[in-house]
Structures are given as C-alpha cells and as structure tokens.
Structure 1
Amino acid sequence: METRTSDPREQPPAATPATPSERGGSPSLHPGDIDRLLEHWLADGVVTAEQAARMRADLPGPAPAPPAPAPAQLALPPAPHASLVTEALGYLGGVIILVASILVAARFWNDLGTPARLAIVGAAAALLLLGGALVPQRLGEPGQRLRAVLWLAATGAVAGFLGLLGSESLNLGDSDLALFITGPTAVVAGVLWWAHHHPLQHAATLVAVLGTVAASASYLSTSEAGAMGLAMWGAGVVWALLAWGGVLAWAGRPSSANLGVVLGSAGAIVGATATMPTRWGTILALATVAAVVVVAVVARSLVLLVVGSVAALQVLPAAMVEWFGGTLGASLGLLLVGVLLVAAALVTARRRRQHPPGAPAAVRGPRLPWPDSTVAMVAAAVVAVSTSAAVLTLG
C-alpha cells in the first residue's frame, strides 16, 4: 500500500478564532465604551491612574482623549451672575466710601484740623486706587467696568486732596491753586489710563489736561476768558489730531482712536464756547462747530454728529442774537441750520447702514482717511505753536 505524503499547500487553512458574537457571547465593546469603563473603575478605586493609562495605550485605533481633571482642578470662568454680583458689590463699596467721607466731612469737618482732613481724603483716594488694582482680571468686562469706576473716583479724590493741600496748607489761590490741582491730577489720570485702557480713564485724562492748559494760559495773558478758552480749544484740537493719527490708540485699537477724536472735538467746542464773550470768539465757535459737523458727515460718525449738533444748539442762538438781534432773518437762519443738521444726520445714518449688521466696530466706526502718525504729530505741533502764539498775543 502506497503511502502518500500530503502537500502542505493542500492542507486546509487553520481555523480563525471565533468572535465573541459567533461564540454566543456579548458583542464587542467600542474603545469609547472601554474608556468610560476605565473612568468608572478609576472613580471606584478598582484601578490606578497609571494602570488606566497603560490600558488606554493598548486600545486599538486612535488614542482616546485623556481624562478630564477632577472638578477641584478645573479653572472654569466665573459665572455671569457671579461677575455681576462682584461688580455690584464693588460699586456699593465705592459709594459707601464716598458717602462715609461726605458724612464725616459734614459732621466733623469744622472740628477737624488740616492734617485730619488730608488724612481722610487721602485715605479715600488710596482705598479707591487699591480697590481698582485688586479687581481680578478673570472677571472680564464687569471687572473692567468696576476698575474704571473705582479709578475714576480715585482720580476725583486725588484732585480733592490736592485742593485741600494747596488751599489750607500752602495757602495757594486762583491760578496757582488751579494749576496745583490739575497738573498732578493729569499725571495720575494719565498713568491710570496707561494701566487700564478704558474710556472713563481716557475722558478723565483729557479733562485734567484741559484744566492744566487753561490754568497755565492764565499766566500768559491778561485776558483770562479769551486766553483760557483759546488754550482749551487748541488742546482739544491737538488731542483730536493725535487720536486721528493713531498716536492715542492703545495697542492699535481703532475704537480708542475714534473715542479720542470725539473727546478732543468736544474739548475744542468747550474751549471755543468759552471765548464767545470776545468779538472773535463767536467766529471761532461757529467755525469749530461747522468743522465738527463736516468731519462727522465725512467720517459717518453719529456720535460726533451728536456732539456737533448739541454744540450748535448752544452757539447758534447766541451768535444770531448778537449779530442780528430778534429779526425774522435770524429765526429763518436757525431754521435753515436745523434742516441742514437733520439732513446730515439722515445721510450719515444711511451711509452707516451700508455695512453688514455683523461688521466689527472698527469697520462701523468713523471712516476718516487715517494718516501717518508723523503727519498727525506735525499738524498737532503746528496747532499747539499757533495757539500758544495767539494766547501770548492776547496778552
């Protein structure tokens, strides 16, 4: 009988292991299910974190995401209601400090000596400054608003402290006292604005600068009303020019530059209005208001147009009465100016609506042709030198 050697190629293939479902067992688990089981075992203490990590490394497919940290380790942002409560408590604390200072001043002010008065006002300023500095950054916008309000109150307290020190301790008066108050206050406000780029600090700095310029102008001319108003007008124009050139835009923010243009224009209008008792002051005020309205229309800035319109309500009636008295022509002229302002507002609003609703604020804001910063600084220097020469000429 012949023995036949079997060819290995003719042997049947080895049987593959049966899957759990073919053996009648439970269906296979997805890696995500295994990961959830590992989390459950970790929570129950069945396996350690190291063992769970080694098990995850053996899972087929892409490695699952690492487990989330324990709730105590999570750095979650504060809830909106918590931020609002913190903001409200901060406002309440600032108001209490202010009210307490006023009550002490009203009840015991006459009985207190100069050192005690300075200590009370200085302590209020220090507490407000410290409170603003300690506001956590993680609070977001509510924290920024709270810090801005506290530091604005602190700026006012610093001005009050300097006023007490100058009047009661140094016996300063008039221009000396005004410059003693506004100069250091402008420095403090500027530092706070540099530390916290908020519109309130921006406005406080400009107000202190305008006060410093006006107090300085009183030394340069005997015509105090005209000189102080003209100096404030020049400072406002210089501020608006520097903001227009982006010099005052912190961190390249167009919104800061736009705000600087609006605030500087308002300061120029206030200064021009202060010169109206003089013969040339009315012309300067009218020219300033007209320039602001024209710039607002070109820039498509409704805020700047509102500033110009409010100024027109103050300047135009006084100019018409001074030049034309109570004649019918003056009334008709005012009516024509009102119609022109309404038309300018409609044109500005229609041009602004051409932008998509979701456009960023930088796009929807003033659309001035932003120059190079050097051009703006040169223009501001020309205005500053010209204004100083005019103030000296008034003297």
Structure 2
Amino acid sequence: MTSGRQRRAVERLTERAVLSPEQADAVLTELDRARPPGVRPGAVVPEILGYVGGVLVLGGAWLLGRLYWYELGAPVRVGILTAVTLTLVLAGVLIGGGPAKFRSVRESSVRRFRITTVLLAVAAVTGSMAVNNAFPVEMSGPRALDVFCAALVGLLIGLVGYLVLPSIPGLLVTGVFSAWLALVTPELWLDHSTVAEGFALLLVGAVWTVLAWSGLLRYRELGFGGMAIATCGAQWLTLSEFPVLGYAVGLLVALACFALYLLRGGVLLLVVGVIGIALVVPEAVWDWTNGTIGAPLIVVIVGAVLLGAGGVAFRLRERRSPGEADSGSRDR
C-alpha cells in the first residue's frame, strides 16, 4: 500500500485542485501497484517486537491479577494498572521517535505509526481499569460512580491520544468510551432509566455522526460508527416500558443510514442501516402480533417483496444504461 507521506502528498494536490478526486484515486492505485511485493524483514521485525512486547505486558499483568488480584488489595491493583498504562504510553512515545518526532511519526514510518496508536489506545483501556479499581467495593453513594469515572478517564485518555496523533484505533476507543459514558451517566441521577440511557446513546451517536461527516474528524468514513451507536440506543429503548418508541426511533435511524449512503456513500452505512431494519422489524411485528405464527410469515413476505423490488430495480437500471459499469467508487 502507499505510504502515509505519499497519500498526503496526493491529498494536498487534490485540495489545490491540481488533481480531481478521480485522478487522485488513479494515482494512489498506480502507486500501490508499483510497490514491489513483499516487505523487508528489517522493517517488519521492530513492529512485531512492539506488538509482542505490548501483549506480554498485558498478559503478565493479567496473570498476576488472576492469581492474586483480590489478595493484593486495591492500592496494589491500582498501582499495577497505572504502571502498565504508563509503560504503554512511554513505549508508544519511544517507538514514535521520542517527544520531538512523535507528532510526525505518520510521515516517517507507517508501521511505527500503527503500533504507536495501538499502544495509546490500549493505554486508555488500562487507565480506565485503574480508576475503576480505585473505588472500594463498600463505597457509599451511587453505584454507577466508579463505572462513570472509569469511562470518563478512558474517554479522556483516548481523546488526548487521538488529538495528539489522529488514528483509527484512537478514534474507535474514544467512540466506545463515549458510548459507555452515555450509558452509565443517567444512573448518577436517575434510578436505572432505560429511556434516558437510550436517548443518551442516541445523542452520542448523533454527535459522532455530525463530527465525522462535517469533516472535523480525520477519518470521515468512520461516520458509520455514530450511526451504529444510535442504532444501539434505539435497541436500548425497545427494552424500556415504551418499546414502540424504540421501534420508531430504530426505523428512523435506519432510514437516516440509507439517506447518508445515498448522499455521501460508504457501504458500512448501508450495512448499519440493514442491521437496524433486521433488528427492529421482527421485534415490532412479534410485539404487535403477540408472538403468533403470523409474525414470522409477515416478516418473510415483506422481505421477499423487498428482494423482488430490488431485483426489478437493478434490471430497470441495466435496461436504461446497459453500458454503465457499477464501479462502486462512492462506496470507498
């Protein structure tokens, strides 16, 4: 594949209107093809060592915890997890070239960039675990306080890592912790309100979607993640005392996925929308028919009709433009 430096050079040419988006795609494709097959062992070995070292650090901490976790006491557990977190961060900075070259590691080496961002993302997870273990089991106050603080710290570490070095692992871990935080926050003030939790997930999903498709996030194609969080929020609402609300919201989220797919492309949006429909329609039909035998038949018939309509639509498109090749460029 092309290096990060080459890809950014082509992106700058596209931004200056020297190349059109189609020409930029063609240039990147040819650069990929021109690269010789295989990789140099000297370039791969450090990456392998970095991943293996990180896994062994986590594995050793896990074994220690499995054998003596509750015998160690909370302060020792927190100390171990904090040390693991700091080790991962320091290792990421070191592999990234040190403090002076850390921010430019993407341009210097794609492999070092990958392992650095993975280590920073894992550090967010271990940092969250350290905070969670700092709370005693017999603590007073809301039960969700320890989980809330753990999710908040994980979100902050992941967000700082992404802002310092934007990457897909950093974006994913930040998204997961933001969804977790949205899920546990209502419990601080409400007595396990499923409706509030569902709407909190919907709000977080909407925020991520807007951030992604407005161009504020580096990896716009991950905008489907916000719609996935919103789909989870709709499913959460179906577990409340108002399941019909969940069905309606789930249908709206799925339709929004299809609309974004038509406007902006991205096959993952189509996948999320289809999954949303697959979840909400059988649940709604089952609920409204009280689980009678007609429920699965209705779903099968509706699915068959939609499949037939899709087949007819494809045939009509082929007849109108028989020479048109479906390149799928909008889905990339």
**TM-score tier after normalising by the smaller chain length:** 0.7 to 0.9
Q: Aligned pair in 2 of structure 1 residues 227, 147: CA closer, same or farther (>3 Å)?
A: same
Counterpart of 1:90? 50
CA distance in 1, matches of 2:207, 2:261: 17
Q: Aligned-pair RMSD on alpha carbons? A: 2.9
Q: Determine if contact 1:230/1:271 at 8 Å carries over to the other structure.
A: yes
Q: 2:40 aligns with which of 80, 83, 87?
A: 80
Counterpart of 1:273? 235
Aligned counterparts, 1:175-324, within 5 A: 175-222=144-191, 224-247=193-216, 249-250=217-218, 256-259=219-222, 261-278=223-240, 279=242, 280-324=245-289
Q: Which structure carries more helix by proportion?
A: 2
When normalised by structure 2's length, the TM-score is 0.73
Q: Which runs of 5+ in 1 are unaligned?
A: 1-78, 251-255, 357-362, 367-395
Q: Aligned pair in 2 of structure 1 residues 309, 332: CA closer, same or farther (>3 Å)?
A: same
Q: Determine if contact 1:114/1:169 at 8 Å carries over to the other structure.
A: no
1:90 to partner: Cα distance: 0.9
Q: Number of matched residues? A: 272
String of CA shifts for 1:172-223, please: whole Å, max 9, x gaps. 6522122111112211110001112111110111111222222222345445
Aligned counterparts, 1:60-71, within 5 A: none
CA distance in 2, matches of 1:365, 1:339: 25
Q: Aligned pair in 2 of structure 1 residues 87, 114: CA closer, same or farther (>3 Å)?
A: same
User: Which structure has the bigger radius of gyration?
Assistant: 1
1:330 to partner: Cα distance: 4.7
Q: Secondary structure at the match of 1:294?
A: helix
User: Does 1:118 find its partner at 2:78?
Assistant: yes
String of CA shifts for 1:289-321, please: whole Å, max 9, x gaps. 232133224433211111222233332222221
Q: Aligned pair in 2 of structure 1 residues 304, 80: CA closer, same or farther (>3 Å)?
A: farther
Q: Aligned pair in 2 of structure 1 residues 353, 226: CA closer, same or farther (>3 Å)?
A: farther
> Aligned AA for 2:42?
A
Q: Which has the higher contact order (CA 8 A, sep 6+)?
A: 1
1:364 to partner: Cα distance: 4.1
Q: Determine if contact 1:179/1:215 at 8 Å carries over to the other structure.
A: yes
Q: Determine if contact 1:218/1:224 at 8 Å carries over to the other structure.
A: yes
1:160 to partner: Cα distance: 0.5
Q: Determine if contact 1:276/1:282 at 8 Å carries over to the other structure.
A: yes
> Aligned AA for 1:275?
L
Q: Determine if contact 1:83/1:143 at 8 Å carries over to the other structure.
A: no
When normalised by structure 1's length, the TM-score is 0.62
Q: Which runs of 5+ in 2 are unaligned?
A: 1-38, 97-104
Q: Determine if contact 1:289/1:308 at 8 Å carries over to the other structure.
A: yes
Identity of aligned residues (%): 22
Q: Determine if contact 2:251/2:276 at 8 Å carries over to the other structure.
A: no
Q: Determine if contact 1:226/1:281 at 8 Å carries over to the other structure.
A: no
String of CA shifts for 1:13-49, please: whole Å, max 9, x gaps. xxxxxxxxxxxxxxxxxxxxxxxxxxxxxxxxxxxxx
1:281 to partner: Cα distance: 1.7
CA distance in 2, matches of 1:93, 1:187: 25
Q: Determine if contact 2:281/2:299 at 8 Å carries over to the other structure.
A: no
Counterpart of 2:36? none
CA distance in 2, matches of 1:167, 1:196: 34
Q: Secondary structure at the match of 1:90?
A: helix
Counterpart of 2:297? 331
Q: Determine if contact 1:232/1:270 at 8 Å carries over to the other structure.
A: yes
CA distance in 2, matches of 1:174, 1:340: 47
1:365 to partner: Cα distance: 4.8
Q: Aligned pair in 2 of structure 1 residues 127, 168: CA closer, same or farther (>3 Å)?
A: farther
Q: Aligned pair in 2 of structure 1 residues 334, 225: CA closer, same or farther (>3 Å)?
A: farther
